[in-house]
């Protein structure tokens, strides 16, 4: 008996639409990460990029539960003396909700060479207008198209 090995020619990319309106940030990010990685497909292979395209709309209306808006922080350093920067998730959501959402999803993806190509297939918009209307196939689950 032989084991089937997925080839690049077997990979078919679909488009998924997620509405972030009144969605919890972490719950939405895990669903999106699964679609970007391709774990929902029967032919998923860890060393190949089997994921789909994901479009997220209404990113300004995403919700963070508990006291995370004030307590959870993102950190960065410029590698210069005194270059430490931190920003709370509440401040980041007000400043640019797309960046907060992308960073959350990015941290849920495997840290390998496939991370950047997967993130390039992620499209995030602040409102419900986007140029990818013609790409979606109708699905009947969870309000996704």
* pLDDT for the residue 138: 59
Edge-to-edge strands, sheet with 53-57 = 15-19, 53-57, 122-124
* pLDDT for the residue 1: 80
Interacting residues of 68 by C-beta distance below 8 A, sequence separation 6+: 89, 90
Q: Which domains does the chain have, with CATH numbers?
A: 14-64+96-135 (3.90.1180.10)
Average the pLDDT over 124-133 and give the result: 95
**pLDDT tens, position by position, 12-46:** 999 999 999 999 999 999 999 999 999 999 999 99
* pLDDT for the residue 140: 44
* pLDDT for the residue 31: 97
Q: Could you tell me the pTM of the whole model?
A: 0.88
CA–CA gap between residue 30 and residue 52 (Å, rounded) = 14
**Exposed/middle/buried for residue 120 (C-beta within 10 Å: 0-12, 13-18, 19+):** exposed
CA distances from 95 to 86, 106, 131 (A): 13, 19, 23
Mean pLDDT score across all residues of the chain: 93
Q: Six-digit token pair at 50?
A: 């089997």
């Amino acid at each position: 008996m032989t084991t089937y090995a997925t080839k690049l020619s077997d990979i078919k990319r679909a488009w998924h639409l997620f509405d972030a309106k009144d969605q919890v940030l972490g719950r939405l990010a895990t669903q999106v990460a699964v679609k970007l990685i391709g774990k929902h497909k029967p032919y998923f292979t860890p060393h190949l990029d089997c994921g789909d395209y994901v479009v997220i709309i209404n990113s300004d209306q995403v919700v963070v539960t508990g006291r995370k808006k004030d307590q959870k922080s993102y950190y960065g350093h410029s590698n210069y003396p005194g270059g430490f920067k931190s920003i709370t998730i509440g401040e980041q959501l007000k400043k640019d909700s797309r960046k907060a959402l992308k960073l959350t999803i990015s941290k849920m993806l495997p840290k390998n060479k496939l991370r950047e190509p997967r993130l390039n297939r992620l499209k995030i918009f602040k409102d419900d207008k986007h140029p990818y209307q013609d790409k979606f196939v109708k699905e009947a689950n969870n309000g996704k198209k």
